[in-house]
Amino acid sequence: MALDIKDNLIIECLKVGKKQFHELEEQLVEKRGEMSKTTLSRHLKNLESEEVIRRLPGRSSDGRSIIYYELVELGLEAQIIDAIKTLRKKYLGDPTIEEVSYFVGETPEIVSKIIYKFARKLGWMSPTEAFVERRGEELTKFLEFIAMKKFKPTLKPPALWGDSGVIVDTKKTAKEYGKLFPEMIPKVHPQPSDKYILEWGDEAMKVTGLTVKTTEFPITYLFKFEM
C-alpha cells in the first residue's frame, strides 16, 4: 500500500498514542482542516484493512464502551524500511545509518545489517560526507523558502533535484512537506526595515548542518557554494 499525505497525517497523530475517532476529528478536521470527516473515516478504514492501524476496545470513565485507534507495532525490518521512506522525504535525500538508527531506537550495527539487506529494493545508497553536506544545504534553502513564503509571496523557490535527477515541483513539494513535517520549518521573526530572523529547531539544525540557532534571511552566505 502506498501511503498518501492524509494517511501519513493520521499516522503522525497516532504516533503519540492511541486516539478515539472524535480526537482525530478534532485535530485533523476541525482545528487543522486537513480533511473532511468522511475522508477521515475512509482513510482509517483503509489503514485498518492494510493492518497499519487497529481498533482497540476500551472503557470511558463512566463505563461506556469506546473504540481507540492505534498503530500496529511493526517489526524492526518494517520499522527501518518505514524510517528510510519517511526520512528520505523529510531530509530530501537518503538518510544515513546513524539517522535511521536514531529514528527506530536501535544501534547502528544492527540497523546496518538490515538496511543493506533491503538497500537495492529501496534504492538506498549509503550517503557520503559530500552528499550529506549538499543535502543539508538544499534542505536549508527549502525550509527557508517554506517559512518565508507567506511573508514574501513572490519569493522564487529553490531548485530541488529528485532521485531521477529531474527538478521536482518545489511549490507542490513545499505544500506537502509543510503538512507532514511542520516541526522542521523555522519560525520567522519579522524585524524593522524588512528584515527577518529565522529560528531553527534542533532536528533541522542537526540535519542541515547549521551551527547557529537563528539566522537572517537570506542565508546563502552560510554556504561554501551556490546551489
Same domain, 143 and 199: yes
Same domain, 87 and 60: no
CATH of the domain at 13: 1.10.10.10
The pLDDT value recorded for residue 51 is: 85
Span 153-182, average pLDDT? 73
Same domain, 139 and 215: yes
224 pLDDT exceeds 70? no
CA distances from 3 to 33, 82, 123, 130, 200 (A): 19, 11, 18, 31, 28
Same domain, 150 and 215: yes
- Give the range among 21-35, 57-71, 165-179 with minimum mean pLDDT: 165-179
Same domain, 171 and 215: yes
Same domain, 135 and 218: yes
Same domain, 133 and 218: yes
The pLDDT value recorded for residue 168 is: 58
**85 lies in which domain range?**
76-122
Residue 23 inside a domain? The answer is yes
CA distances from 182 to 20, 77, 97, 146, 192 (A): 23, 27, 24, 10, 26
Cis, peptide link before residue 57, omega less than 30° from 0: no
Same domain, 86 and 12: no
Same domain, 21 and 42: yes
Report the predicted TM-score, pTM, of the whole model to 2 decimal places.
Answer: 0.67
Q: Of 88, 122, 156, which marks where a domain is finished? A: 122
**Tally of structural domains, the chain:** 3
Residue 227 inside a domain? The answer is no
Same domain, 197 and 148: yes
Same domain, 109 and 143: no
Residue 163 in grid coordinates: 532521485
Q: Give the pLDDT band of residue 62 (cuts 50, 70, 90).
A: confident
The pLDDT value recorded for residue 161 is: 58
**Distance, CA of 213 to CA of 29 (rounded, Å):** 33
CATH of the domain at 109: 1.10.10
Residue 139 inside a domain? The answer is yes
Model confidence over 15-60: pLDDT tens digits?
878 899 999 999 999 988 999 999 999 999 999 998 889 998 888 7
